[in-house]
Structure 1
C-alpha cells in the first residue's frame, strides 16, 4: 500500500529530511504535495540513514514548510519516456517539454542514471565526426565515440563555437547512417539559450537537435539532472535507433558548482576548493556514458565545454576532466584578443584517439603527416617570436623570417575562419598545404617525401 508522509523534519535549501521512513530505495522519485497547490513537486532520495532519508527537490522549495506538505514515494527511479519524436524538441532539465509541443508518449522508458557500459563490451572508437572547424578537424580530430572537452574561460566565445559545431557537424557520407546532436545547456542565461535556439533554427539544424535547457534561475537540483537526461536521450538514439550522436554540454563548471552547493547543504566534508571528494567519480559517471558498443551500430561522442575560473587549467574541474577524457581543445585568450575566431590554442590541445580515426581509410592519406608538421612548425614559431622580441625581426635569419610569415598566415587563415564558415576535411588539408608552402621544403621533416611530391609540388 502506498504511504503518504504528512510531516517533514527539516528543509535546507534544495534538501528535505524525513524520518520514520520504511521500504525506500536510493534514487527513488518522490511526489511532494503542498497545501493549496495543484501541481506536485518532484524530488529524489539521495541519502538513507536507517529510517531517515534526505530528499533532493528538483524545483524550488519556496512555499514548502514542515507542516503544510505531504510526501509520497513512487517506488521508481527517475525515468524518461523516449522515442525518435524527441528530435527537434526542447526540454527543461528534468525532461519536461518547454517548446509547447506536448508530452512524449512512448512505451520505452529509461532510467536517467544510465546503464553502465561493460568495458569488455566497448568497441574501440574509429572514424571521425567533421565539425567544419579546421583547427579541430585538422589538428585535434573528433573521433566517433570519443570524449573530447573544450577548455574555455570567462568571456571567451565558447557559446559561439558550440553553436557552430552543432550547425556544421556531420559524419562522413556513409550509407544508411543517421546523425543527430543532443545539446545540454546547464545554468545558462535566457539570452544565451535564445541565441542557441535561434542559431539552430536559422541553419535548419533544429530538426536533428534535441535540446535540454537548464536556465541560471532554475533550481540548483535540476542542474544536476540536465546532463543525465541528455545522455539518456543520446543512449536511446545511439543504441536503440542505431544513430551516431554528438552530445554537446555547456557549461560543466556550472554543473560542478551546483554539485558543490548541494554537497554543502548536505554538510559533507569538502575537498579541493570546496568541491565534494567524489567530484571525480561523479564526472566519470557522466563522461563514461560516451562510447561505442560491439553489438550496436550507433555511437555517442561527447564534447563537454567547461570554463576555467581565472583561466586556471589546474582548477579541480578541468584537472579531473583531463584525467577522464581523451584529450582537450583549449581556447586561448591571446588569440581572442587578436580577434582570431574560433581562438583555438593548438599547442596545449590534443586528441589522443586522433591517430586511429584519420588517414587514407577515413580522411585522407596526408592527414597524419600534415597534422604533425603543423604542430611542429607552429611550435617553432613560438621560439622564433621569442627570439625576435630580443633581437628584432629584421635581424632574424631568412628561415626564421619565413617561420614568422608562416605563423601569421597559420593564425589568420587556418585557425581564424569565423563562426559561419564550414570547411570540409579536404578544404582544411588543402589549406594546410597552401600555408606550409611558405616554408623551405627541407623544413618539412614530418611529412613523407612522396606526399610532398604529390601535394606540395602542384601548388608551387
Structure 2
C-alpha cells in the first residue's frame, strides 16, 4: 500500500498522513515522480501522522507526486563473511565497484537486547602494536575503550593504525572500521592505510563523508555493529570495531533532534543522548556459549579540548577507561601523543599478566606509571628552582621521563611492535632510575629483566 498524503517537508524530515498501523523505527521506500526512489525511517507517530527521516535528504522533493511504501519492519542489513574485504558507504552500499552485499541473513541494524546473565567478563588482550597502549592501557577482548582527542590531533592516524595492526590471541581476528563525517581527503587516507588488511579479507570498511546525508551518519555505526555481531557470535571471530568520529555522530543526532523540534538539553543535544550512545557502546562483549567477541574503540574529538563536553562526558560514564591525546605531548614531537597519566584501561587486569601477556606486565606498567608521576613532579620543581638545585634522585627522574618518552611512547605511525619489544623498552627506561626507586618490582623480575648498568654490577 502506498501513502501519498504528504503534509510537510522539513530539513531531512517528511511528514505523511493516513499512516495507520505504521510503527516506530519502521523502514520505508519513498517513490518520487519519474521512477526514482529514496528511503526513510519512521521517527515519530502521532495518531495517523508519521514523521520519517529521509536517508538521502529531501532536496529536490515537493509535496506532490510522492508515494510512500512501509516495509512493516525496521531497517535490516544483509550480514555475513561477504562484508570482509569490501568498502561501502554509511548505508552499506558498495563504493568499491563490487556487487551489492548479499549475505545469508538479514538482521535489524538496531540489534537485539542481550540478557546480561549471558554476558561473559572481558578477557584476553587485543594487542595493537602500539607500545604506550599495549604496555600501560591494554585493550581487552569485549571491552569498550574510547580515544579522546581534540581537533587537529592525529586521532584518525591512531585509529587507522590500530585497525591496521591489531591482533588477538583467538583463532581468527577481524576488524570493522566505521568512519563518520570525514572529509574526502581523510577517507582517501583511511582507504589507503587499510588497503592491505582489506585485501587480506580481514576488514570491512564503512565510510560516511562530511557531505553525505546527516541521517546516514546515524545509521553507519549501527550497521557496522550489526555486521560485527554476526561475524563474532555466529561466525566465531574476535572482532574489533573502530568508530571515528563519534562527535560527528552526536552532532547528527542533535541536528535531527532540532529538526524534530525536540526540547534541547545540555549544549543543544537531546536529553536522550546518553541512552542513544549506550545503545551503541553496549553492543560489545562476549556471550556465554559463543566463541567470538566484539571489542569497540570509539574515537571522539572534544570541542575546545573540554572533557566535560556532553559527548566525552557521557561516553566516559558508559565505557571502561579512556585514551586521552594531549596537545602538549604532541608539541614535544611524540606520536602517538597520549597523556599517559590521564589515560587508563579499567579492564587491563583481565587481559594482562601471567598466562595472558607476560608475567611481569602488570608490575612493569604500575612502575612506569608511578615513576612518570614522580617525574612530572620533578619537572614542575625544576621550573621553580632550576634543575641544578634538584637532588640526584629527582634528576634521575627527569632522565627517566626523556628515556621513556623517546624509547617507549614514541613510535612511527606505521610501526608495529611486539609485546616483548614493548616491555623490553619499558625495562630499558626504568633502568635509568636507581635500584631503590624500583620498589614496585619483585626481586625476581629485576634479576631477570632489568638491563644491567656498570654501577649495578
Q: TM-score range by the shorter chain?
A: over 0.9
Deviation of the 1:263 alpha carbon: 0.2
**Cα gap change, 1:203 to 1:266, in 2 (>3 Å):** closer
What is the rounded CA distance, in whole Å, between the counterparts of 1:203 and 1:147 in structure 2?
22
In structure 2, which of residues 323, 331, 343 is the aligned counterpart of residue 329 of structure 1?
323
Q: Select the residue among 9, 25, 37 that pairs with 1:11.
A: 9
Give the TM-score, by structure 1 length.
0.97
Q: State the 1:203 CA deviation.
A: 6.2
Aligned-partner Cα distance in 1 for 2:3–2:203: 41
8 Å Cα contact 2:143/2:284 also seen in 1: yes
Query: What are the residue-to-residue correspondences of 1:63-82 with 2, within 5 Å?
Result: 63-82=60-79
Q: Name 2:25's counterpart in structure 1.
A: 27
Of 270-279 and 7-16, deviating more is 7-16
Q: Distance in 2 between matches of 1:33 and 1:70?
A: 5
* Alpha-carbon offset, residue 106 of structure 1: 3.0
Q: What TM-score do the two structures reach when normalised by structure 2? A: 0.97
> Which residue pairs with 2:349 in the alignment?
355
Instruction: Check 1:207–1:40 CA distance in 2 against 1; reply closer, same or farther (3 A cut).
Output: same
Contact 1:180 1:245 in 2 (8 A): yes
Identify the match of residue 245 of structure 1 among 214, 219, 239.
239
Tell me by how many angstroms 1:303 deviates. Answer: 0.2
User: How far is 1:202 from its partner?
Assistant: 4.8
- 8 Å contact from structure 1 (residues 308, 318) kept in 2: yes
Q: What is the CA-CA distance between 1:33 and the residue it aligns to?
A: 1.0
Name the Cα RMSD after superposition. Answer: 1.2
Q: Which moved more, 1:68-77 or 1:277-286?
A: 68-77
Question: Which whole-Å deviations, capped at 9, do the CAs of 1:262-286 have from their partners, x for residues lacking one?
Answer: 0000010100000000000000000
2:332 counterpart (313, 332, 338): 338
Distance apart, 1:238 and its partner CA: 0.2
Q: What is the match of residue 400 of structure 2?
A: 406
For 1:107 and 1:302, locate their aligned partners in 2 and report how far apart those are by CA, in whole Å: 25
The equivalent of 2:390 in structure 1 is: 396
Secondary structure (helix, strand or coil) at the match of 1:344 reads coil
Matched, 1:435 2:429: yes
After the TM superposition, which of the residue ranges 406-415 and 291-300 deviates more from structure 2?
A: 406-415
Can you give the 5+ residue segments of structure 1 that lack an aligned partner in the other structure? none
In structure 2, list runs of 5 or more residues that go unmatched: none
**Structure 2 CA distance for partners of 1:454 and 1:382, relative to 1, 3 Å:** same
Q: 1:185 aligns with which of 164, 170, 179?
A: 179
Looking at structure 2, the residues matched to 74 and 182 of structure 1 have their Cα atoms a distance apart, in angstroms, of 28
Secondary structure of residue in 1 paired with 2:194: helix
Runs of 4+ in 1 over 6 A off after TM superposition: none
Within 5 Å, give how 1:126-205 maps onto structure 2: 126-172=123-169, 174=170, 177-202=171-196
Residues 166, 205 of structure 1: 8 Å contact kept:
no
Task: Name the structure 1 match of 2:258.
Answer: 264
CA contact (8 A) 2:81 2:103 kept: no
- Aligned residue-pair number: 454
Aligned partner of residue 247 in structure 2, secondary structure: helix
